[in-house]
Amino acid sequence: MKALCWNGTDDLRVERVPDPVLVNPHDVIVKVALSSVCGSDLHLIDGYVPTMRPGDIIGHEFLGEIVEKGPEVRYLNRGDRVITVSIIGCGHCGHCQHGESSLCDNSNPNPDYARTAYGHCGAGIFGYSHAFGGYAGSHADYIRVPYADFNAFRVPEGVSDEKAVFVSDAVPTGYMAADMAGIKPGDMVAVWGCGGVGQMAIRSAYLLGAERVIGIDRFPDRLRAAQMKVGAETLDYSRVDVFDALQAMTGGRGPDVCIDAVGMEADSASNAVEDLYDRAKQAVGLQTDRPAVLRQMIESCRKGGTLSIVGVYGGVIDKFPMGAAMNKGLTFRMGQQNGQRYAGRLFEHIRNGDLDPSYLMTHRLPLDDGPQAYRMFKEKADDCMRVVFAPQG
């Protein structure tokens, strides 16, 4: 089959690879109809995620048809149209049973990397390095889905492929950011990053009762989408001081909830010295992640407020303002998404018209265009929010 493979920093190639096969009786094979790029793929392409190997297939947000199933798969059938949650759970361990499937004890067959780096090992992720399980990704004609009954969800009648595909990753990640922040009616929420996940976090914050949501970015098309599609007020961090603007908008109090939908490759155009410092330290390996957004959230958040982090971090950061966080009594919530607990609720929101993620798909392209498509996505050229590949045409 055809697949989009990682071959090194900034080196993606479309290659011929063997078709996936059933490995475990709980597996299914999905014929991929749509497979989306995601901001966290850029950390792979930019070389910030160790344990990638040449030839690894990337991609983790996808929709398709089940074409083969293992003998122990009970709830799914050949011909079902499904989405699959990008973070893999086993469905049986304590974490999976308690709605924290991204902390699954069993779905990562290579636990030693994470145990060494993090102390404990979390779930496997499709197409996201050998440290996260070495699972082949979805930018391919076919993909193997392990523990299929737990991870794959039949798309309800009346929900189009274009809406459903994002229930794999962008929608539950944004929804979880809002959900774990404990948003209460009347809250004011600020969201850093207006890419796909940030857009969905904004919509989800409103669904959970927020009164005002402010989206922060510097790309005009993303700020416009945040206003027009999900009703946010917006701040362009390249033009205003984010701290000052947020205080002015909240009578000097600061937002109740601050959401990080950016992660480890944050820019800080508003503070050139800090940005240079972070980039220099990252370049020589003295810090692995750039924490500009985290610092700004800690400074801006109201006293006693909550920071909710779904942008991906991988390693260590420098100059973390622990004193501010402690003395302001901030609560930190964070994690990879637990989409298995949200998929049913999110499909319901889509069906009744509360939520329509289809506008995230600004480009639909064949898999052959993969390398150029990622370049466009990385450079945010042509107002690209997300490219979705359609391997079957």
43 contact partners, CB below 8 Å, separation of at least 6: 49, 263, 264, 265, 312, 314
Concatenated DSSP letters of 276-314: HHHHHHHHTTS-SSB-HHHHHHHHHSPTT-EEEE-S---
Q: Whole-number minimum distance, CB 207 to Zn ion, in Å?
A: 20
For the segment 76-95, give every residue that binds Zn ion (CB under 5 A): 89-90, 93
Neighbours of 11 (CB within 10 A): 12
For the segment 169-198, give every residue that binds Zn ion (CB under 5 A): 169
Distance CA 34, CA 216 (A): 29
Q: Whole-number minimum distance, CB 100 to Zn ion, in Å?
A: 9
Concatenated DSSP letters of 5-32: EE-STT-EEEEE-PPP---STT-EEEEE
Among the residue ranges 101-109, 113-121, 253-261, 381-389, the one whose residues contact Zn ion (CB under 5 A): 101-109
Residue with Cβ nearer Zn ion (89 or 198): 89
Q: Out of 58, 66, 76, 104, which residue is the one contacting Zn ion (CB under 5 A)?
A: 104
Contact 92, 106 (CB under 8 A): yes
C-alpha distance from residue 392 to each of 31, 139, 299, 372 (Å) = 9, 11, 48, 19
Residue with Cβ nearer Zn ion (37 or 317): 37
Residue with Cβ nearer Zn ion (122 or 254): 122
Q: Whole-number minimum distance, CB 197 to Zn ion, in Å?
A: 7
Distance CA 358, CA 118 (A): 36
SS3 36: strand
Distance CA 49, CA 312 (A): 11
Write each residue from 129 to 168 as x if it is in contact with Zn ion (CB under 5 A), else as -, in one continuous string: ----------------------------------------
For the segment 302-361, give every residue that binds Zn ion (CB under 5 A): none
Concatenated DSSP letters of 321-372: -HHHHHHTT-EEEE-S--HHHHHHHHHHHHHTTS--GGGGEEEEE-GGGHHH
**Residue 66 sits in the site that holds Zn ion (CB under 5 A):** no
Among the residue ranges 72-80, 102-110, 276-284, 294-302, the one whose residues contact Zn ion (CB under 5 A): 102-110
The structure tokens listed for 95 are: 């974490």
Q: Out of 96, 131, 223, 360, which residue is the one contacting Zn ion (CB under 5 A)?
A: 96
Residue with Cβ nearer Zn ion (40 or 296): 40
Write each residue from 15 to 44 as x if it is in contact with Zn ion (CB under 5 A), else as -, in one continuous string: -----------------------x-x----
Q: Whole-number minimum distance, CB 228 to Zn ion, in Å?
A: 24
Give the binding-site size for Zn ion (rule: CB under 5 A).
9
Q: Whole-number minimum distance, CB 370 to Zn ion, in Å?
A: 16
Residue with Cβ nearer Zn ion (214 or 309): 309
SS3 99: coil
Concatenated DSSP letters of 187-206: -EEEEE--SHHHHHHHHHHH
Q: Whole-number minimum distance, CB 359 to Zn ion, in Å?
A: 17
Contacts with Zn ion, residue ranges (CB under 5 A): 38, 40, 89-90, 93, 96, 104, 106, 169
